[in-house]
Structure 1
């Protein structure tokens, strides 16, 4: 019985070794929803200075999406939209989009990928930046959705008085979304360019 592969360079691997590794990867990936939930819980001790923690901000964003009748893909997207803050502070949007991309429809991925740029609308002008930079995407079909995501849910979710459920409330949704077959065309639909 194989415990490890014998090769030290991928080009030397055998079919049997790659089947062995594929089996291990599939087993490991079954725990992805729990790793996502753990990463979210760790946002409690992330970037400070706001009246709520990054976890509370994420929960509140998802709660607002849920209250507005968003579907499960978008609610989970809202929940994880800032999951990349710690590891990718200058491109956290793209990290979050990459994490969720295999499991949700394309427009959710597009919104997460671009939400950081769209959030600049609220503060870039204070630093001499162009708050209307998002308008270069004005003709994209998901543009209005990203504007709404930022306006109704993301930028509004720094309120310590907002009734915000605990992470456990969203855990079943996270488990369902991240347990889907990756890149299922019936879920993803038409792929949008992220450029």
Structure 2
């Protein structure tokens, strides 16, 4: 396989960068494959939960799908906790950054803020402020994020819930990640 001529980027040529651009575009087109593969391996959980991370994601997305949410929001719901393993202290921002080039401002904001909003259910039990989300009370997506947490996230830890399969979500994931980057509507 052809390789670039440089060992320092500042010495790269037009041909080097054309080669890299070609490979990067091919790689970007396979993002959905990598995401689906990663999700499929989330079959473990943090100790204490009744369901795996994958099952939580599938339950959340199934609830969004059954509630008639857009494909974009269903996929975002499926991916909302994809950062749990690699970025436990900022998993919401991690997931939002993966989605950002492919989703609307609203969907991005909801996913980015859901972690803070989700503390509404647990913070008071751990000495925190359950109303920390209220700093965003006047934001145009505040209520949508409250609704996301209430309807899809906090309620999706049920080992008896009948979720759709990852395979059923696959066409939606592929469609969203096939969009031109920085898609906005």
TM-score (structure 2 length as normaliser) = 0.97
Structure 2 counterpart of 1:34: 33
Moved over 6 A (4+): none
CA–CA separation in structure 2 for the residues paired with 1:118 and 1:39: 25
**What is the match of residue 143 of structure 1?**
142
**1:86-133 CA deviation, whole Å, 9 max, x = no partner?**
100010000000000100111111000000000000000111100000
SS in 2 for 1:174: helix
Aligned residue in 2 for 1:193: none
Q: Structure 1: state its 5+ residue gaps.
A: 190-195
Instruction: Verify the 8 A CA contact 2:56 2:157 in the aligned structure 1.
Output: yes
Paired residues in the alignment total 185
When normalised by structure 1's length, the TM-score is: 0.92
Alignment-derived partner of residue 84 in structure 2: 85
Change in 2 beyond 3 A, CA 1:8/1:46 = farther
The answer for the alignment partner of 2:153 in structure 1 is 154
1:1-195 matches, cutoff 5 A:
3-184=2-183, 188-189=184-185
Q: Secondary structure at the match of 1:183?
A: coil
Structure 1 vs Structure 2 CA RMSD: 1.0
Give the superposition deviation at 1:46. Answer: 3.8
Instruction: State the distance in 2 between where 1:134 and 1:69 align.
Output: 26
Would the aligned equivalents of 2:81 and 2:92 in 1 still touch at CA under 8 Å? yes
Q: Tell me, yes or no, if the aligned pair for 1:137 and 1:143 is still in contact at 8 Å.
A: yes
Deviation at 1:147, TM superposition (A): 0.2
* 1:46–1:86 Cα contact (<8 Å) kept: no
Tell me, what secondary structure is at the counterpart of 2:47? coil
Q: How far apart are the structure 1 equivalents of 2:177 and 2:45?
A: 23
Gapped runs of 5+ residues in structure 2? none
